A and B are shown apart, each in its own frame.
Chain A
Amino acid sequence: DVKVTQSSRYLVKRTGEKVFLECVQDMDHENMFWYRQDPGLGLRLIYFSYDVKMKEKGDIPEGYSVSREKKERFSLILESASTNQTSMYLCASRITGSANKDTQYFGPGTRLTVL
């Protein structure tokens, strides 16, 4: 079974703090993704990485950065957290060339609250 884990289920931070969200997958997937989920808006892509040290902006990258130094780990960084970044953050990974093409497998999510 594919397993994607995220470092925290719940996180509370203060405005201006630097926040790290970690995601680890154990299936040697090339591609990894970070989404945020807000009520009524579905999931929106923040950043994705198609290989180690490679990254591309998604639909809403402003206020975020990412790091992928190892294949299994993809980090989302909020350089200076703001209240409008309070949200559910979901990480996903995907192997290229799989039978179920493009299927992404998700972690359990991190519910971040910025006070």
Chain B
Amino acid sequence: AQKITQTQPGMFVQEKEAVTLDCTYDTSDPSYGLFWYKQPSSGEMIFLIYQGSYDQQNATEGRYSLNFQKARKSANLVISASQLGDSAMYFCAMSSFSGSARQLTFGSGTQLTVLP
């Protein structure tokens, strides 16, 4: 069975500093994808970044980068130069094949608060 673990229920960071949100995963599927989503207080889940299990380089999207360490089964999200608007819940997720389609398994989330 697939499992995603986010061990930090809450994190604080000072504005303009970098922050790392932890994510570890467990799967026996040789082909999988790893995702990070942001959920502001409004409730919508916003896709941030994707990393494929066979990708050689770590994914980057603007201020977001994914620190992918396959041997350690970790996929940490790094946000550089934090902004007040980054305050939100962040979810790590993994895709795997189940039934007739690939599905996402989500972690329990990390609530990030950016301090002015």
Contact = CB atoms under 8 A, between A and B. Distances in A.
Interface string B31-42: 001010100001
A106 B93 CA distance: 14
Interface SS, B side: strand
Contacts of A31: 101
Interface string A78-93: 0000000000101010
B78 to A, nearest CB: 19
Interface centre among A101, A102, A105 (most CB of B within 10 A): A102
Given A42-B91, A42-B107, A101-B52, A56 B45 contact: no
A103 B50 contact: yes
Interface SS, A side: strand
B105 to A, nearest CB: 8
Nearest to A41: B108
Interface residues of A, number: 30
B17 to A, nearest CB: 26
A33 B104 CA distance: 10
B107 A108 contact: no
A49 to B, nearest CB: 9
A50 B100 contact: yes
B80 to A, nearest CB: 21
A102 B50 CA distance: 9
7 contacts: A43-B91, A44-B106, A48-B103, A50-B101, A101-B102, A103-B50, A105-B47
Interface of A: 9, 31, 33, 40-45, 48, 50, 54, 56-58, 88, 90, 92, 96, 100-109, 111
Interface of B: 4, 33, 35, 37, 42-47, 50, 52, 91, 93, 95, 99-104, 106-109
